[in-house]
Chain A
Amino acid sequence: MDMKVTGTLMQSYTICKRQVWLMAHQIIPDQEHPFIEMGRIIDDNSYDRDKKKLHFENVVIDLVRSDKDNFLVGEVKKSSKAEKSAKMQLLFYLYRLKQSGIIAKGQLFFPEERKRINVELTETNEKEILNAINEITDIIDREKAPDFVKIPYCKNCGYREFCMS
């Protein structure tokens, strides 16, 4: 299994393949970008009581809370607009946990919307994750970044000025 794939890349994967390549080459966007700042602040302040960081292989999981028998992996997100990508990221963590023998369930938190969504690894979405991992590996191994093609997400993307300059 290729360990180059991370949860962040999985999240980008559902948004933009170019972003995956750039991130994997450590070309990360300018941190002054207001949306990135916002993400950071939410990360720092919300759900403080439960906050734990789990370093798992090359993956850092934002928040873990377990009641007696069950592991619950949580991810805090800014808005449910990017629900699909948040879900893929979480499924990826669940998949990695399963590989090391830990069966866990997941939950997405959207503190600003006071919303929680349960995420579980099933046969179908496990296949989806496997496919995604393979494709991400292919993208990263490419000599050049996938071309810039404008999509609606570009408007809010940290790479916007990089891609459009």
Chain B
Amino acid sequence: MKKSIYIFSDGELHRKDNTLFFEGENGRKFIPVENTSEIMIFGEVSLNKRFLEFISQSEIILHFFNYYGYYVGSYYPREHLNSGYMILKQAEHYNDDNKRLYLAQKFIEGAYKNIRQVLKYYQNRDKDLEDIIYCIEKLGELINGTLSVNELMAIEGNIREYYYKSFDVILNNRDFEFDVRSKRPPKNSLNTLISFGNSLMYTTVLSEIYKTHLAPRIGYLHSTNFRRFSLNLDIAEIFKPIIIDRVIFSVVSKNMIKKDDFDDNAEGLILKERGKKIFIEEYVSKLTTTIKHRTIGNNVSYRRLIRLELYKLEKHLMEEQGYEPFLAQW
């Protein structure tokens, strides 16, 4: 399996013949082209066209984050897996309101059920979450009856509101109180972690989409404006609760990330480098954790589960097999 490379230091990315390296404060570090699928850039890094040319040839994606850790954008090389057939199918399911709503509902259903699974896990560990779970289940029952994507988004918003209330119960840590969801800028530590984690998730899904025949600009739940990536946001909904939120719970409750890992700033509260690194380490170890897969018959990593989700979506678009979202079993 190819790897992701994370660059935190400042420096330059270079190409020399058919090799790539990063020249930073601590010297030169080679990037194994054959073994790399994406480079996540957090530091101040410069690069040139020769570098981009080789990156494109090698089918490596670059994801850029700014100083504060917010996602800036991706360099998504010319798609190497192209299928006119699949793009037409993808558009067909977008243009037909019923087909589009069906997929949007499935993504929210997946998010909802995985959220419930996370909550049940903590309920079994004696956290008082009964009321919240009850409210979320009531809302969850409404998903399949929605008549428009907007109505669906409203329900999703309500579910999330209750869900975030549960974070205080689960963490029970005064330094990480939820209060209210604030995105730009995030006003407290928990919001900062959620925003940071979600952007990681979006880029991971985007990198997986690159390995399929799906066009990342055609999403179903998150409206498509054909300029931004949106399919990755759709698929990320399913995995956020079981990957990002679990990473958050673990770094906070094990005291791996503490109050002084954040800096107050005009851009809101930001996670310092140490914190980012710890978060990413936990995230990567989650992505590489394997579970037994029912139909494939062997162990697959969480990262692979994302790919399989995309394959299932492709088969849905091909009208082979109705799409059903991945549900965590524990």
Give the B-binding residues of A (Cβ under 8 A): 25-28, 30, 32, 144-145, 147-148, 160-162, 164-165
Q: Which of A26, A147, A165 has the most CB of B within 10 A?
A: A165
B217 contacts A by Cβ under 8 Å: no
Q: Which residues of A have CB within 8 Å of B319?
A: 144
24 A-B interface contacts by CB (under 8 A): A25-B86, A26-B81, A26-B83, A26-B84, A26-B86, A26-B213, A27-B83, A27-B314, A28-B81, A30-B212, A32-B1, A32-B211, A144-B318, A144-B319, A148-B320, A160-B296, A161-B296, A161-B311, A162-B311, A162-B314, A164-B295, A164-B297, A165-B296, A165-B312
Measured in the bound complex, the distance between the Cα atoms of B174 and A94 in whole Å is 76
- Check A144/B311 contact, CB under 8 A, given A25-B85, A27-B86, A32-B1: no
0/1 interface trace, chain B 317-330, chain A, CB 8 Å (1 if under): 01110000000000
Q: How far is the CB of A116 from chain B (nearest CB, A)?
A: 31
Q: Mark B1-25, 1 if CB is under 8 A from A, else 0.
A: 1100000000000000000000000
Q: In this assembly, does B129 line the interface, its C-beta being within 8 Å of a C-beta of chain A?
A: no
A160: nearest chain-B partner, CB-CB: B296
Excluding A144-B318, A148-B320, A165-B311, 10 further A-B contacts by CB distance (< 8 Å) are A26-B82, A26-B85, A26-B213, A30-B212, A32-B2, A160-B296, A161-B307, A161-B308, A164-B296, A164-B297
- Are A25 and B83 interface neighbours, CB within 8 A? yes
Smallest CB-CB A-B distances: 6 pairs: A26-B83, A165-B308, A165-B311, A25-B85, A162-B311, A164-B296
Chain B: interface secondary structure? Answer: loop
Q: How far is the CA of A32 from the CA of B84 in the complex (A)?
A: 22
Q: Which residues of B contact A27 (CB under 8 A)?
A: 83, 85-86, 213, 314
CA distance A107 to B85 in the complex (A): 36
Q: Given A27-B86, A27-B213, does the pair A165, B295 have CB atoms closer than 8 Å?
A: yes
Residues of B within 8 A of A28 (CB): 81
In Å, the complex CA distance between A161 and B303 comes to 13
Q: Does B315 contact A (CB under 8 A)?
A: yes
B36 to chain A, nearest CB (A): 12
- Distance A71 CA – B84 CA, assembled complex (angstroms): 37
A32: chain B residues within 8 A (beta carbon)? 1-2, 211
CB distance from A21 to the nearest CB of B (A): 10
Cα separation A50 to B211 with both chains bound (whole Å): 34
Q: Shortest distance in angstroms between B121's beta carbon and chain A's nearest beta carbon?
A: 25
List residues of chain A with CB within 8 A of the CB of B308: 161, 165
Alpha-carbon separation in the docked complex, A165 to B304 (Å): 11
Closest Cβ of chain A to B281, distance in Å, is 24
What is the CB-to-nearest-CB distance from B309 to chain A, in angstroms, rounded to a whole number? Answer: 8
Closest-by-CB residue of B relative to A29 is B81
Cα A104 to Cα B308 in complex, Å, equals 44
- Known A-B contacts A25-B85, A28-B81; the reply to A165 vs B315 at CB < 8 A is yes
- Please name the residue on chain B nearest to A28 by beta carbon: B81
Which chain A residue lies CB-closest to B86?
A27
Q: Shortest distance in angstroms between A157's beta carbon and chain B's nearest beta carbon?
A: 12
Q: Mark B66-92, 1 if CB is under 8 A from A, else 0.
A: 000000000000000111111000000
CA distance A162 to B296 in the complex (A): 10
Residues of chain A within 8 A of B83, CB atoms compared: 25-27
CA distance A147 to B311 in the complex (A): 15
CB distance from A153 to the nearest CB of B (A): 15
Measured between C-beta atoms, what is the minimum distance from A161 to chain B in Å?
A: 6
Q: State in angstroms the CA–CA spacing of A162 and B320 once bound together.
A: 12
Cβ-closest chain B residue relative to A30: B211
A145 neighbours in B (Cβ, 8 Å)? 318, 320
Give min CB distance, A71 to chain B, whole Å.
34
A161 to B208 Cα, complex, angstroms = 14
Q: Hey, what's the 0/1 contact readout for B172-200 against A, CB within 8 Å counting as 1?
A: 00000000000000000000000000000
Q: Give the distance in Å from the alpha carbon of A148 to the alpha carbon of B320 in the complex.
A: 9
* Chain A residue nearest to B85 in the complex (CB): A25
Contacts of A147 in B (CB 8 A): 320
B33 CB to closest chain A CB (Å) equals 14
Closest residue to B212 on the A side, CB-wise?
A: A30
- The interface residues of chain A lying within 8 Å CB-to-CB of B309 are 165
